[in-house]
Structure 1
Amino acid sequence: MDEKIQKKLAILSDAAKYDVSCASSGSTRKNTGNGIGNGVAAGICHSFTDDGRCISLFKILMTNHCMYDCAYCVNRRTNDRPRATLSPQEIVDLTIGFYRRNYIEGLFLSSGVIKNPDFTMERMVLTAKKLRAEENFYGYIHLKAIPGASPELIEEAGIWADRLSVNMEIPTEPNLKKLAPEKNYPDIISPMTQIRNSILISKEERRKFRSAKQFAPAGQSTQLIVGATPETDREIILLSSGLYQNQNLKRVYFSGYLPVNDYDKRLPAISRPPLVRENRLYQSDWLMRFYHFKAEEILTEDHPFLDLDVDPKLGYALRNMHLFPVDINKADYEMILRVPGIGVLSAQKIIMARRHRRLTTLTLKELGVVLKRARYFITCNELAAKFSDWDPVRLKRQLVINTHSKYRKSPDTQLELFADFKPVLPTLH
């Protein structure tokens, strides 16, 4: 690899590590026989980010030059740091080279904003177009849609990319204006709405005409920075829920605020990112998407923050002890899903199994139920409701002790295991 390109790659791959809203799943793009690569919905992980996430994408910024001066961003224009820019053809060559060597499954392309949103978006779209039209690349492509870019460029981006994402970054507009005065919510919401509508139109057209082009078949996502501003967890979860319902997002990603610009007094004085809080928000997101929880159930006005000592499902159960114990042989599916220690697959198996016999603790173990947690919240054939009168504080203490004794190290320690992890940068020889 050319030494100049190698230097650019080192700078821009390092700058891209702060964007977490990427995934290699959600789209199947079959090779017609004349191209290279296949976009596979399941995805394969080949490399790691600095924070320990396993990914299969060539994750890169087109440039870390930026016209904006956002307080929380390492690439803000007033920061004195090495800058680099890759041309569309250079990104294409790198992507194809890495793919042929089995380093990557696809491309995740983001960028700082240079000159103006349209100029930046046009170069990103050109990159995806070259990969598809000139290189016959059928692998996964995720593009960042630049807020403020013209609708025509957003529309073209969705034709070439599998997934588009528009980062909201800060959960509320007043705090966004405080930390990023040059940005605004209308510029962020507008492309989100356009992408949602275009996806719906594309699906309808493909029902009628199989040859109709797909528009962003893997949907759209966004990213929220957690901890840079004083929003409560409830505000963040309510926003996420609204985005899922109103914009049909596939994923909302949470990124614990990294203190990269600690000289800026608008930012909180913290020494490390709030990784446990980030993890609890992801667990809450999982409850909404797969466990049929509503945002208002996970947190209330009286309890606006997630309990960092326990997962949000257990926190819900401890706040609603009047709903428990649940008779595992009679309760409906929705209520069984709310029992700590019972997952989606286990709940489905319970519904199936109890059609043929009454369930016992032995049966529940065979079905994958974690009885160390669930036994406090259920009754079954021989398990009486002897824990139902436990004080929630005492019960929480007991469950936390059980969890920590299993892992020996605290949750904080476990999450910090990734702190010093460095990814291996692929090279071409």
Structure 2
Amino acid sequence: MSTLERLAVLADGAKYDVSCASSGVNKQNKGGIGNSKSFGICHTWSADGRCVSLLKLLLTNYCIYNCHYCINRNQNDIPRASFTPREVADLTIQFYRRNYIEGLFLSSGIERSPNHTMERIYQVLDILRHEYHFYGYIHVKVIPGADPALVNKTGLLADRMSINIEQPTEQSLKLLAPQKTLPVLFAPMNQINNQMTQNASERKIFRHVQKFVPAGQSTQMIVGASKDSDLSIIKATETLYNRFQLKRVYYSAYVPVNEGPNLPALSTSPPLLREHRLYQADWLLRFYSFKADEIVNEQSPFLDTDFDPKISWALRNMQLFPLEINQASYEELLRIPGVGVTSAQRIILQRRLGNISYNHLKKMGVVLKRAKYFITCQGCYYGGIPAESALVRQALAPVAKPVQLCLF
């Protein structure tokens, strides 16, 4: 294959990996080319926050594994291609000089062995950082099972690293990815977390210690390939955040690309709404101090498709509402549907100066069409209906889309 043909194959093979946001790191240009800023290195962001100006490709789509959900599984009859580390580095620089990209997202199938593949990924970064003096953003995948020494030296050159666990439970991995186990996947996550903590401590004492994975680590879970409930996914997410201090957990609605007795039919559409609800639940875990058991439970293991998780929680706990906006604590404000982190902070600051009226709330960013059923302002309730779960649910229910009648 020509370089262009291989690029088409390997870029297409990387499109199912969604964990490629670029943020959270500053890297100063020291006479080379490229920069990385903490607010993101790209000119355009997708609606869910993903950077879209990274060169995103696989080093190779040859793979010794047979994960049932993966297009690059070794049993699939698809075009196969590989790049050498030098070719990937040259492509990155050429694309950067043409202003097509601002950084690199590099993943790979596992060719020959985890160590062989991880060594080649390291060589790409070594060429970019030391030969081309490229200071732009680089996100690489860690190959589970690779030697910790390889992971360590790669982490000193990368901005972000990620290990995709793909499935939330050991049972699902056995069913769909029999060559993977959670302990093997967790080992590099734990190593990266420990080394980031150690690196942060060393940098407080020695100014010139080289940074280790300054933008942190992330992971991805595939939604809909297995029969795991949202409860399993959210509990796994909570564990990952607490145990490994991940920056992000990404969710990827499974696109049926393979046939198999344990997979959805090829005609099945990706569960995009379910993916969206999981991102909303993830936001509650990270910024709103919710616990997994509050968002979903054994009685309701799946997220409500009609309402976002915060409204669903509030409707299940109407005995806590309405809350007086001038007296509720910051933690209580965050639990009110329609009140976000920024608007809650504004309310706390404004209350130091005086009481807040209902008319002030919209200016503070509160979404009153949702919040009015869960709050009082200076003792007055503006919901217009009794604060009862059934009535509020009916008032907030999405309007059914009109259907065109057929005359024939």
Query: Taking structure 2 as the reference length, what is the TM-score of the superposition?
Result: 0.94
1:150 to 147, 151, 154: 147
Q: In the alignment, is the contact (CA less than 8 A) between 1:24 and 1:55 conserved in 2?
A: no
Instruction: Give distance in 1, aligned partners of 2:295 and 2:207.
Output: 41
Matched, 1:196 2:193: yes
1:268 to 247, 264, 271: 264
Instruction: Give distance in 1, aligned partners of 2:354 and 2:43.
Output: 45
Matched, 1:289 2:325: no
Give the corresponding residue for 2:60: 63
Give the corresponding residue for 1:356: 353
Instruction: Give distance in 2, aligned partners of 1:47 and 1:16.
Output: 19
RMSD: 2.0
Structure 2 counterparts to residues 26-425 of structure 1, below 5 A: 26-32=24-30, 34-46=31-43, 54-261=51-258, 263-269=259-265, 271-381=268-378, 383-384=380-381, 389-401=386-398, 404=399
Q: Tell me how far 1:392 sits from its aligned partner.
A: 2.0
Q: In the alignment, is the contact (CA less than 8 A) between 2:376 and 2:382 conserved in 1?
A: yes
Q: Taking every aligned residue pair, what percent have the same amino acid on both sides?
A: 53
| Aligned partner letter, 2:14 | A
Q: Tell me how far 1:390 sits from its aligned partner.
A: 4.2
Q: In the alignment, is the contact (CA less than 8 A) between 1:232 and 1:305 conserved in 2?
A: yes
Give the corresponding residue for 2:17: 19
Match of 1:160, SS state, is: coil
The verdict on how the C-alpha distance between 1:281 and 1:90 changes in structure 2, with shifts beyond 3 A counting, is same
- 1:49-74 per-residue CA deviation (whole Å, 9 max, x = no partner) reads 8x995522111100111111110000
Q: Which moved more, 1:351-360 or 1:126-135?
A: 351-360
Match of 1:19, SS state, is: coil
Q: Tell me how far 1:387 sits from its aligned partner.
A: 5.8
Q: Tell me how far 1:391 sits from its aligned partner.
A: 3.8
Match of 1:124, SS state, is: helix
Instruction: Give distance in 2, aligned partners of 1:10 and 1:18.
Output: 14
- 1:180-213 per-residue CA deviation (whole Å, 9 max, x = no partner) reads 1111112101111101111011111111001111
Q: In the alignment, is the contact (CA less than 8 A) between 2:88 and 2:124 conserved in 1?
A: yes
Instruction: Give distance in 1, aligned partners of 2:323 and 2:85.
Output: 58
Instruction: Give distance in 2, aligned partners of 1:339 and 1:375.
Output: 10
Instruction: Give distance in 1, aligned partners of 2:354 and 2:49.
Output: 44
The verdict on how the C-alpha distance between 1:342 and 1:306 changes in structure 2, with shifts beyond 3 A counting, is same
Q: In the alignment, is the contact (CA less than 8 A) between 1:24 and 1:105 conserved in 2?
A: no
Instruction: Give distance in 2, aligned partners of 1:37 and 1:409.
Output: 51
Q: In the alignment, is the contact (CA less than 8 A) between 1:321 and 1:388 conserved in 2?
A: no
Equivalences, count:
402
Instruction: Give distance in 2, aligned partners of 1:48 and 1:208.
Output: 37
Q: Tell me how far 1:148 sits from its aligned partner.
A: 0.7
Instruction: Give distance in 1, aligned partners of 2:261 and 2:42.
Output: 39
Match of 1:170, SS state, is: coil
Give the corresponding residue for 1:423: none
The verdict on how the C-alpha distance between 1:40 and 1:314 changes in structure 2, with shifts beyond 3 A counting, is same
| Aligned partner letter, 2:216 | G
The verdict on how the C-alpha distance between 1:41 and 1:319 changes in structure 2, with shifts beyond 3 A counting, is same
Q: Tell me how far 1:384 sits from its aligned partner.
A: 2.0
Q: Tell me how far 1:47 sits from its aligned partner.
A: 6.5
Q: Which moved more, 1:325-334 or 1:234-243?
A: 234-243
Match of 2:15, SS state, is: helix
Structure 1, gaps ≥5 residues long: 411-429
Instruction: Give distance in 1, aligned partners of 2:224 and 2:257.
Output: 13
Match of 1:155, SS state, is: helix
Query: Taking structure 1 as the reference length, what is the TM-score of the superposition?
Result: 0.90
Instruction: Give distance in 2, aligned partners of 1:327 and 1:390.
Output: 13
Q: Which moved more, 1:339-348 or 1:298-307?
A: 298-307
